[in-house]
C-alpha cells in the first residue's frame, strides 16, 4: 500500500481510511523520525522542546533540539504507560502535530510544550499556509 502523506507508512494520511487504521493511526505506522519525536515527548514527560527543524514534513533530530525538563518537586511523576510498548494508538494531540508537520513541510518548530508525555502546544516558524491549500 502506498502512502500519500509523509511519515505515515501504508496509510492515506493521519486520518486515512485504510483498514490498518480502523481504530486510528498507530505508532508503528510512523516514519522513524516521527517515532523518535513521539518517544522524545514521552521521555520528557513534562517540559519543552525548542528549535526542532522540519524538512520534507519530517522532524530533524540531528542535531538534537534543546530539551527543557519541568520537574515537579511536590509530587512523583509517572512515566507515560506507552513508553515501553512497541505499538499503540496515537492520541489526538499527536495526530494534530503530525498534520502540522505535513502542512509546514519545511521550517522550524520554535517550541513544544509537553505535558504528561504528550505534545500540547507548539509555536511554529515558517511561511503561513495559503488559504485553501490544505489537503
Structural domain includes residue 50: yes
Structural domain includes residue 114: yes
Closest CA to 29 of 19, 40, 42, 20: 20
- The pLDDT assigned to 133 comes to 56
Structural domain includes residue 13: no
Structural domain includes residue 81: no
- Assigned C-alpha cell, 12: 492515506
User: Which domain range does residue 110 map to?
Assistant: 19-74+88-125
Give me the tens of pLDDT residue by residue for the chain, a chain 135 residues long: 444 455 554 443 443 334 444 578 999 999 999 999 999 999 999 999 999 999 999 999 999 999 999 998 998 888 888 999 999 999 999 999 999 999 989 999 999 999 999 999 999 876 666 666 555
Structural domain includes residue 107: yes
Q: How many domains does the chain have?
A: 1
- The pLDDT assigned to 131 comes to 66
Q: Are strands 107-115 and 118-125 parallel, antiparallel or unpaired?
A: antiparallel
What sign has the CA pseudo-torsion 102, 103, 106, 109? negative
Structural domain includes residue 79: no
How many alpha carbons fall within 13 Å on the CB side of residue 51?
Answer: 7
Structural domain includes residue 80: no
Amino acid at each position: 500500500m502506498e502512502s500519500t502523506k509523509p511519515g505515515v507508512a501504508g496509510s492515506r494520511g493521519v486520518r486515512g481510511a485504510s483498514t490498518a487504521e480502523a481504530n486510528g493511526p498507530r505508532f508503528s505506522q510512523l516514519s522513524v523520525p516521527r517515532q523518535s519525536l513521539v518517544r522524545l515527548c514521552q521521555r520528557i514527560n513534562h517540559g519543552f522542546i525548542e528549535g526542532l527543524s522540519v524538512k520534507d514534513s519530517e522532524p530533524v533530530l540531528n542535531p538534537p533540539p534543546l530539551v527543557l525538563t519541568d520537574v515537579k518537586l511536590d509530587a512523583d511523576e509517572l512515566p507515560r504507560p506507552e513508553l515501553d510498548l512497541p505499538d499503540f494508538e496515537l492520541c489526538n494531540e499527536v495526530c494534530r502535530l503530525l498534520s502540522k508537520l505535513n502542512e509546514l513541510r519545511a521550517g522550524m518548530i520554535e517550541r513544544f510544550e509537553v505535558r504528561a508525555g504528550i505534545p500540547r502546544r507548539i509555536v511554529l516558524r515558517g511561511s503561513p499556509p495559503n488559504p485553501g491549500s490544505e489537503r
